[in-house]
Amino acid sequence: MDLFSHGLLGFVLGQALRLDPGAQIILIISSVILDIDAIRTRRSAWFQFHRGPLHSFRGATLVSLAISTAYAVLVRLPAEGFVSIVLICIGGSFSHVFLDLLTPRSMAVLWPFSNRKIAFDLTYFVDPIFLGVLLLASIAVVYVKNDVQMIQMATLVATVLLTANFGVRYYGRTSAIETVKRLNPDINPNVVPLPTLRPDRWWVAVKTPFDNGYCYEIYSVASLDNKILGKRTVKSPFVDYRGQVEPPVDSLQEAVVCSKRDKHVSAFIEKSRLPAVNVTLSDDGSTWQVFWYDVFTHLSEGVFRGVTVRVDID
């Protein structure tokens, strides 16, 4: 979920809970602070660090304790108020983890006890309905100011609308998958639903092994009408090629293997839902240019462009 949505949620919750100004600021900070791992010096490093250990329940808890302790020391908070601040911070940071789980980019939320990555594939990275409802709720609670009843009413209406939004998306995801399966009753069961900005439009990817890589058949689906709007096929051989490589690197698959030694590439592959690779030879014939990308991000207008590695032939 985008950073602005996390901050708005923290603000609305703070108003609904009638927190004092200091506690409200702490709630907002804890709601957005986990995305500090998105800061990087190289664009490709994003895949290595973002949504890593901080985006786990243990990481969120440690960050919450750090924020709470710093706040308690700064304002000389009495011991009896420290527990409340810790709970506020945990609520903010856990809400961040939960909302990010609803998007397609998977996370190891049980790290370090488990490295298994999960994603609920329920909404896009930016959910315009979610963001719009929170923005209107924020304006409403500011406008009514000290009217507790109206603030609670605005919060209730926002909760109902957001629940309905995710309910429609859940139905749309299920409907989109079933629509594709009815069209291809014998397809491989490895089906990946991918949300779009609209709750009634989905991409559904069917992954089939192909020459040490994958063939992706990606359907655009109008989920509420149960209609296939379009289809795109992307073939990416050698994604999983693991053969031995010794100089000179004289084949596409060997160039792919060499590129995986780059730490940014390995991090990219680990976090990609639909990893694909494109290999080209330089004009002078001395270098392979290996471009790793996620098919999904290119469908969604290139949110993340991928990682490029150059591999010398000799």
Task: Assess whether pLDDT exceeds 60 at residue 302.
Answer: no
pLDDT tens across 50-71, in order? 788 889 999 999 999 999 999 9
- Per-residue pLDDT, averaged over 195-203, amounts to 92
pLDDT at residue 41, rounded to an integer:
46
Task: Assess whether pLDDT exceeds 60 at residue 303.
Answer: no
Q: How many residues belong to the chain?
A: 314
C-alpha atoms less than 13 angstroms from C-alpha of 281 in its C-beta half-sphere? 11
Task: Assess whether pLDDT exceeds 50 at residue 218.
Answer: yes
C-alpha atoms less than 13 angstroms from C-alpha of 158 in its C-beta half-sphere? 24
Give the domain ranges of the chain: 3-120, 242-314
Task: Assess whether pLDDT exceeds 60 at residue 304.
Answer: no
Return the amino acid letter for 176.
Answer: A
Check: CB of residue 277 under 8 Å from CB of residue 212. no
Task: Assess whether pLDDT exceeds 90 at residue 143.
Answer: no
Name, in order, each residue with C-beta under 8 angstroms of 107's C-beta and a sequence gap of 6 or more. Answer: 51, 55, 56, 97, 100, 101, 117, 118, 119
| Report for 168-177, 181-190, 233-242, 281-290: range of highest mean pLDDT | 168-177
Q: What is the pTM of this model?
A: 0.88
Check: CB of residue 42 under 8 Å from CB of residue 299. no
pLDDT class for 147, splitting at 50, 70, 90? confident
DSSP H or E stretch at residue 227: strand 227-236
- Per-residue pLDDT, averaged over 100-127, amounts to 90
Q: Report whether the peptide linkage leading into residue 112 is cis, meaning its omega lies within 30 degrees of zero.
A: yes
- Per-residue pLDDT, averaged over 201-212, amounts to 90
pLDDT at residue 92, rounded to an integer:
95
pLDDT class for 27, splitting at 50, 70, 90? very high
pLDDT tens across 220-243, in order? 999 999 999 999 999 999 998 888
Task: Assess whether pLDDT exceeds 60 at residue 312.
Answer: yes
